[in-house]
Amino acid sequence: MPKTKSQQPFEFHSRRAFLRHSGLGCGALALTSMLNDGGLLSSTKAAEPPRLLQPRHPHFAAKAKSLIWLFMPGSPSQVDTFDYKPELQKRDGMKLEGADPKTGFFTTSGKVLKSPFRFQRHGESGAWVSEIFPHMAKHTDEMAFVYSCFSESNNHTPAMLEMNSGMFLQGRPCVGSWLTYGLGSENQNLPGFVVLHGAMPRGGKPIWSPGFLPKVYQPTSIDGRNNTPIANLARRQGMSEQQQRSQLDVLRSMNRKHQELRPQEADLAARLESFELAYRMQSAAPEAMDLNQETAATQAAYGVDKKETELVAKQCITARRLVERGVRFVQLYAGTNGGGGGVADVPWDGHNDIGANHRIAAKSVDQPIGALLSDLRARGMLEDTLVVWGGEFGRTSDSQGSLGRDHNPHAFTMWMAGGGIKGGVQFGASDEFGYKAVDNRVGVNDLHATILHLFGIDHERLTYRFNGRDYRLTDVAGNVLHQLLV
């Protein structure tokens, strides 16, 4: 059936009219291309998306503003670092009553293994510290030691998942993501949550995953071994800031229209925010990561000038610079520069020779961490910066082979400092061999509840609805350790 006149999409009375209309169309396309190349296409910016990282008020007055978590992958032995047990020295080689050879990941001998290190009391608190930590030992009166920690898994990856998320299964948000979700970010030009690492720890990126939280709460992970630690940060060569801004405005407008049709898709808003954050980071992140702005004396104090401490020293300085600029949570996976009787991603894993392994691992972190605490104190930042130190579990009191120690989830030591922590506290206890936590036992949920409390968050009220249920970091457990708090 032929179309009527009103149905005709185009009507040209002559070839000249056709050429005129076609020429105008081509000219419009050419003009659009020129304006786009010049970054002038968008005369008005697209509507500003909601800032998911906007700072939010806590439930009550907070003591801590930011957190530096010093994670020791592979897990230091509690009885060779801070939990001094003279009975190990007295009964070396004797049978350890109650020892389970399958406590760890492999099989242990059931015979007591003494510590190869000397211990000494330090500070007014008289805390015992191994000789491998001469720099950290100077700060015992600022630390609260928890000697009675325990976890649920004897394997690295599940235990690291548990330490970070409260559960030893993948898919749950880590504490850094929960904190950022609850409080937002103080600096809108930097991420609220940053992970610093060298060799990728066991378990990889899932151990610091945001889980079911919107992806805007995932960390920015930074490999301290690279000269360009943040990938894809610089804008494309030849592109001006105005051109990039125009492209982002168009992209944002398209994404917003896509989002309006799918209001239940929480990750769409997170995607919009992630593009904007990446754009803002291009100017703020390089300055924050530029360690050349630090004096030579500061770099030497941390140990940047020594091969064995260089990596962790740079990580510690970067952590301080980031929290100084408003980053909420920095988690630092402190490794060695290689070797030490354990593979690179688990430097504290002293299965074969605890003495050789721990001497090298401790040397890589002791000076940088001691300098970090001194630096935070000197700058007046320790008062509201919480520092947490520890691994994912402990080590056995009986030997694996003749000189090593296997994994032990039943007892390990962690310490906290700054950010509302009462210095000089020694809380909880393991048994006389350091094999099991026996007094004021502290689970991961208790640690998380305490950390959230220091940030002014009631751990029972910080929830996120997922699959029809309100989830929280501490699940259905967790008690605040008020004995540690100022």
Report pLDDT for 187. Answer: 84
Q: What percent of the chain clears pLDDT 70, i.e. is strictly above it?
A: 76
Mean residue pLDDT across the chain: 86
Q: Tell me whether residue 436 is in a domain.
A: yes
Given a cut of 50, whether residue 344 has pLDDT beyond it is no
The pLDDT score that the predictor gives to residue 49 is 47
Using alpha carbons, list the distances in angstroms from residue 260 to 10, 164, 247, 464. Answer: 34, 34, 20, 22
What's the pLDDT score for residue 25?
Answer: 60
Is 49 a domain residue? no
Kindly report, residue by residue over 10-69, the tens digit of the pLDDT. Answer: 555 666 666 666 665 655 555 556 555 554 454 444 444 456 788 999 999 999 999 999
- Examine residue 234 and state whether it is found in any structural domain, yes or no: yes
Q: What is the rounded CA–CA span in Å between residue 213 and residue 464?
A: 8
Domain that holds residue 345: 66-484
Domain assignment present for 53? no
Query: What does the pLDDT look like over 424-448, one tens digit per residue?
Result: 999 999 999 999 999 999 999 999 9
Residue 176 DSSP class: H
CA–CA dist 97, 91 (Å, integer): 11
CATH of the domain at 465: 3.40.720.10
The set of long-range contacts for 84-87, using a CB threshold of 8 Å and a minimum separation of 24, is 84/119, 84/128, 84/130, 85/115, 85/397, 85/430, 85/432, 85/433, 85/434, 87/112, 87/432, 87/433
User: Is residue 41 in some structural domain?
Assistant: no
Tens-place pLDDT, residues 258-300: 667 776 666 666 666 665 666 566 666 778 888 999 999 999 9
Per the domain annotation, does 42 fall within a domain? no
Q: What is the pLDDT of residue 342?
A: 39
Highest mean pLDDT among 13-17, 195-199, 419-423: 419-423
Distances (CA, A) of 102 to 109, 114, 170, 367, 400: 10, 20, 24, 35, 11
Q: How many domains does the chain have?
A: 1
Q: Would you say residue 180 lies in a domain? A: yes
pLDDT at 75 over 50: yes
| pLDDT score of 279 | 55
Confirm whether pTM is higher than 0.75: yes
What's residue 77's pLDDT?
A: 98
Does residue 7 belong to any structural domain of this protein? Answer: no
Q: Within a 10 A sphere around the Cβ of 33, how many other Cβ atoms? A: 11
Position 234 pLDDT exceeds 80: no
Confidence of residue 91 (pLDDT cuts 50, 70, 90): very high
pLDDT at 236: 66
Residue 190: pLDDT band with limits 50, 70, 90: confident
